[in-house]
Amino acid sequence: MTVTFDLINTVYNAAMWLLTSIGLRKIFDKCGLMGLYAFVPGYRYRELGKCSRKETEGRICMILEVASIVFGAIGTAIDSTTREGLLLELIAVVSAITLVILTIRIAAGLCRTFGTRKFWILLWTLVPAVPALIWGYSKKYQPIYLNREEEDEILAGTMPAELAIPADAGDIGAGEAKDGSGLYIRLRERTVWDFLRKRYLLKDICLTIPNGSLVLLLGGSGSGKTTLVNAIIGYEKADADMILNGQNIYENYDKMKYRIGFVPQQDLLRMNDTVIRTLQDAAELRLPSNMADKRKAERLEDVMDTLGLTAGCHGLVSKKSGGQKKRISIGMELVSDPELFILDEPDSGLDGVIARELFQRLRDVADSGKIVIAITHTPDRVVDMFDKVIVLARDSGRVGRLAFYGSPNEARAFFGKQSMEEIVRSVNRTSEGGEGRADEFISRFAVERTDSLMLQENGKEGSSDEREA
């Protein structure tokens, strides 16, 4: 019975290898490669790597397959119970696992090459002969050749640019920021896994925002603005320290989430309810259940006065203007009296006059001691109201980094530009209509900021020594 099973298994593997090779022969022909290489053990992986635009993975697979054949032959002559035999078995297992992982990457590349859905990756992993034969012999599937820009986008974030950033750039001045007031952000990296490949979304972002600040978050499309916001509020955690007024947001998330308000770009409102009822329901949901009704009513009144919602508060939400609806959305979050308030494009779709009125309300919120961070794509019409500007940019490896943090006037001087929109263009890629200077500004800001903080710390130490003397 054992002999029969072994024989069936051997025949099956041989048939699968032969059918896969026949399919690969046609795939290689379609990709302009030598079809006969499909029947050469090891080397066919090298050619497959070219078809899938995964040449590094193909070369490694070639080495692994040849090594497995060699070690397999040696293993048959060595007793598996000896130390040498166990070592060979361990090497074989590790090689097999690595080969499977790299094969999945190659399969993902082939899906892009032939424009198929990702389901085919599973099929290739389990029964490679089936997709090989279909892709090879069906006229429906032809290689799709990407241009340089599309190829670069596929690799976006997989290899961060090597920039001249001091290793201790994020740690200088951190102790005081962590123990004091305000928001301290020390984001080492925010990554995701994409078909067993680590992809960086953000890297090396460190800054401290004092309480009472209205902060503008700038950056081109894909620079990581929303990713940074999600990391700050704990919605998508990163490898980071997020400290709000001495409390770690991640470590104390169940408590800290009530001290953070977030208003998305899309208004999430009940249109057939009144303004006052909408805000009352928000207060009931977000304020502590043991808070006295009188205090809840006072808090609600303060929010409505701050946002200018008292007049007409008994009217339907659906009857209000775009600016008023946005203020209602803000009020629903502000009612819980958050210490940190973040808004994603609150002025989207609003004209200049209404937008300035809205940001004046946010200015008032910040002046009450809160931290307000806002993303807007029309910054120049309201930039005079902001205390600080954060500029994110994608480096040459397509990873979001900190290109600047300071006052609007300091930003103009640093970038040599007069408007915020010009600043964004200076760090955008040339293919996006920008100047492509992101790496330059990211490195320069990191070095200048580190030098400045070191001087400040040395000055504090000198003053302390003088007082002790």
Same domain, 376 and 334: yes
Pair (131, 273) in one structural domain: no
| Stretch among 75-79, 105-109, 216-220, 437-441 having the lowest mean pLDDT | 75-79
Q: Which tens digits make up the pLDDT trace of 273-291?
A: 888 888 888 888 878 778 8
Res. 174 pLDDT band, cuts 50 70 90: low
Instruction: Give me the pLDDT at residue 143, please.
Output: 87
In angstroms, how far apart are the furthest CA atoms of the chain?
Answer: 92
DSSP state letters, 45-84: HHHHHHHTT-HHHHHHHHHHHHHHHHHHHHHTTS-TTSHH
Single-letter amino acid code for the residue at 400: G
* CA–CA dist 223, 424 (Å, integer): 10
Among 130, 145, 160, identify where a domain stops: 145
Same domain, 209 and 122: no
Residue 24 lies in a domain: yes
Do the Cβ atoms of 49 and 58 come closer than 8 Å? Answer: yes
Higher pLDDT, 174 or 44: 44
Determine the pLDDT at residue 1: 47
User: Closest by alpha carbon to 110, among 121, 125, 101, 94?
Assistant: 121
Does the pLDDT at position 298 exceed 70? yes
Task: Let me know whether 263 and 395 are in one domain.
Answer: yes
CB atoms within 10 A of CB 209: 23
Say whether 294 sits in a helix, a strand or coil: helix
Domain that holds residue 90: 2-145
Q: Are 300 and 199 in a shared domain?
A: yes
The larger pLDDT score, comparing residue 265 to residue 345, is at 345
362, part of any domain:
yes
Q: Are 216 and 116 contained in the same domain?
A: no
- Note whether residue 257 is domain-resident: yes
**CATH no. for residue 319?**
3.40.50.300
**Best CA proximity match to 405, nearest among 437, 446, 466, 370:** 446
N-to-C CA span, the chain: 92
Do 202 and 125 have their domain in common? Answer: no
Same domain, 118 and 212: no
Domain presence at residue 141: yes
Element (H, E) at 88: helix 83-114
Six token digits for residue 454: 């070191």
Sign (positive or negative) of CA dihedral 343, 433, 435, 419: negative
Domain end marker among 145, 162, 196: 145
- Of 92-96, 212-216, 428-432, which gets the smallest average pLDDT? 92-96
Regarding whether 92 and 9 lie in a shared domain, the answer is: yes
Residue 309 located in a structural domain: yes
Of 1-15, 69-83, 289-303, 452-466, the range with the lowest mean pLDDT is 452-466
Residue 307 has pLDDT above 60, yes or no: yes
Number of domains in the chain: 2
Element containing residue 192 per DSSP (H, E): strand 183-194
> Which residue type is seen at 383?
V
Q: In 3D, which of 463, 446, 442 has the Cα closest to residue 395? A: 442
DSSP helix/strand/coil, 376 = coil
Between helix 438-468 and helix 420-427 the angle, nearest 10°, is: 110
CA 389, distance to chain mean position in Å, is: 20
Measured in residues, the chain has a length of: 469
Question: What's the pLDDT at 222?
Answer: 86
Q: How far apart are CA 136 and CA 131, in angstroms?
A: 8
Distance between CA atoms of residues 320 and 317, nearest Å = 5
Evaluate if pTM is beyond 0.75. no
pLDDT tens for residues 48-76?
Answer: 988 888 888 899 999 988 887 777 677 66
Q: Output the pLDDT for position 185.
A: 93
The answer to the question of residue 168 being in a domain is no
Q: What is the pLDDT of residues 118-173, one digit of tens each?
A: 889 989 888 999 999 999 999 898 888 665 565 666 667 777 888 867 665 555 54
Taking Cα atoms as reference points, which of 280, 284, 281, 277 lies closest to residue 317?
277
Q: How far is CA 201 from CA 159, 222, 401, 437, in A?
A: 11, 9, 9, 19
Domain termination residue (choose one: 92, 127, 145): 145
Q: Which residue has the higher pLDDT, 79 or 156?
A: 156
Confidence of residue 79 (pLDDT cuts 50, 70, 90): low
Same structural domain for residues 362 and 448?
Answer: yes
- Contact indicator for 267, 332 with CB cutoff of 8 Å: no
DSSP helix/strand/coil, 350: coil
Residue 159 lies in a domain: no
Distance CA 297, CA 292 (A): 9
Quick one: 209 and 126 in the same domain?
A: no
What is the torsion angle, in degrees rounded to the nearest 10, for the CA atoms of residue 443, residue 448, residue 449 and residue 454? Answer: 130
Residue 160 resides in a domain: no
Residues of the chain with pLDDT > 70, as a percent, come to 87
326 and 241 in one domain?
A: yes
How far, in Å, are 39, 105, 289, 343, 404 from residue 261 at the CA level?
61, 40, 18, 8, 25
